[in-house]
Amino acid sequence: MSAPLRIALAGLGTVGAGVINLLERNGGLITRRAGRPIEIVAVCARDRSKDRGIDLSRYPWEDDMTLLAGRADVDVVVELVGGSDGPALALARRTLAAGKGLVTANKAMIAHHGMELAEAAEQAGNGAGAPLKFEAAVAGGIPVLKGLREGVAANDVARVYGILNGTCNYILSTMERSGRDFAEVLGEAQALGYAEADPAFDIEGIDAAHKLAILAALAFGSRIDFGAVETTGITRIRAADIAQAEALGYVIRLIGLAEGAASQGGLFQRVQPCLVPLEHPLAAVDGATNAVVIEGNFAGRLLFQGAGAGDGPTASAVVADLIDIARGVDTAPFSVPVEALEARGPADPGNRLGRTYLRFNVTDRPGVLAEITAAMRDAGVSIESLIQEGRPEEGGEVLVVLVTHEGPESAVIQALELLQGSDSVIEPPLVMPLLA
Ligand code: NDP
Ligand code: HSE
């Protein structure tokens, strides 16, 4: 039997505790498959006395996590602390500078600093290189990065899209089923360990944007460009939108979508709530489940689906990376060396064609509908259906929901610009594309 792969765990929260649990329960089979044991030689978190539901007495405790990188008995540091910068980034930099491997579930850090860290991994050990792996950073337990790096390596990928945030999906699908309130359901997702330390990252779409930026880099061989991801979260979705979508034959899901076939020029990256037709496979994706669709020019449409968050699934992806390192699997973090990744500018979204759901909150008075429809007419937007919710009292607030025929996004944007400043439209309209 070869020497063990010696790992240090930084962070013993939901994912860190899950990794210990998995390594303890499946140790025998992991050793057989990896060809050698994976041994935890150090652990670190903020509070040593916290009850984590696991017995930590057999693992040496390190108070200062930055020291993990310099320890002679550590081959790989597993960073499960979180945060794009701060202690997690400092640890990652030190680890790679020390020529050691780094495994992380930290999508925020990879989305912001992935290029720098991948370069550091290439140069580590005086050019010998060190492994940098982050399968758990995107879609929890689903091996979608491996799918892109290995499974569809022969394809020109046209687009990659899907449900990338378990918390949002849990909230939307629970609201849909139960009619319950947004805030109450968010609390439940937090209690289940799905949400980020700051749940605004989930509900504002930022977490999904981190994951989409990583997916896009792998799918299109481009440098990560997180700043170019157009991002809208789910905070403005009301029970009324969910009901209207259902009446139209749709569900609402937060979708991350990237398009960037080599022939296309710019890269399109967007996270936004969308209306998903009931017959689409993504419409049936419930709870904290994630699902990613990859469209390759030879593989066709592939659907990867599974648990996108939580201790067990995320630990599964972290340990799969460790097994790869133990086996000596040495694929570049972004498939190709960093210098071979292309810098693609953003694509112009105005040229995109599609149907759109628009919800207006308006003051109920004569002429409001005419004002909205006139703006649509003047911008060249063709209306497929228009629904006005019941009338509470004259002068009160009503919802007007409108679905457009297929047309360019730029026309819808122009129509909304024409309505800006209207004293009948109470708040900016909610705009959701219909997923085709
Ligand atoms: P938690 O908040 O549950 O755990 C974070 C851990 O980091 C805690 O153990 C905390 O210590 C420790 N920590 C924080 N700051 C420090 C510090 N300065 N020094 C030492 N330890 C520190 O987070 P999760 O386990 O949920 O997430 C970890 C990472 O995995 C994040 O990057 C997250 O985005 C990612 N991820 C999470 C998923 C999930 O389902 N939860 C899924 C996929 C990825 P203490 O416990 O003592 O406070
Ligand atoms: N907060 C994230 C989610 C965890 O809800 O999807 C998994 O990345």
Please state the pTM of the whole predicted model.
Answer: 0.96
User: Mutation test of ligand 1: which of 54, 80, 164, 169 has the most ligand atoms closer than 8 Å to its C-beta?
Assistant: 80
Within 13 Å and on the Cβ side, how many CA atoms surround 386?
Answer: 11
Q: Is 156 exposed, middle or buried (0-12, 13-18, 19+ CB in 10 A)?
A: middle
pLDDT digit string, tens, across residues 28-56: 999 999 999 999 999 999 999 999 999 99
Give residue 291's region: left, alpha or beta (phi > 0; psi -120 to 50).
beta
Q: What is the pLDDT of residue 423?
A: 86
Q: What sign has the CA pseudo-torsion 345, 348, 353, 356?
A: positive
Q: Is 192 exposed, middle or buried (0-12, 13-18, 19+ CB in 10 A)?
A: middle
Spell out the alpha helix ranges (H) of 26-106.
27-34, 86-97
Q: What is the pLDDT of residue 397?
A: 85
| Residue 211 annotated to the active site | yes
Position 264 confidence tier, pLDDT thresholds 50, 70, 90? low
How many Cβ atoms are within 10 Å of 340's Cβ, its own excluded? 10
For ligand 1, what atom is nearest to the CA of residue 193? 41
How much of the chain exceeds pLDDT 90, in percent?
A: 85
The two tokens of residue 426 are 């109470």
- Non-local (6+) Cβ contacts of 77 within 8 A are 7, 8, 10, 68, 69, 91, 92, 95, 100, 101, 102, 103
DSSP readout, 172-191?
HHHHHHH---HHHHHHHHHH
Instruction: Write out the H or E segment, with its range, that includes residue 426.
Output: strand 425-433
170 touches ligand 2 (CB under 6 Å): no
81 touches ligand 1 (CB under 6 Å): yes
DSSP readout, 200-217?
HHHHTSHHHHHHHHHHHH
Q: What is the pLDDT of residue 262?
A: 65
User: Mutation test of ligand 2: which of 163, 164, 194, 290 has the most ligand atoms closer than 8 Å to its C-beta?
Assistant: 194
pLDDT digit string, tens, across residues 312-360: 999 999 999 999 999 999 899 999 999 999 998 888 877 889 999 999 9
Position 391 confidence tier, pLDDT thresholds 50, 70, 90? low
Residue 390 has pLDDT above 80, yes or no: no
pLDDT digit string, tens, across residues 168-214: 999 999 999 988 878 888 899 889 888 898 999 999 999 999 999 99
Q: Tell the residue nearest (CA) to atom 36 of ligand 1.
A: 105
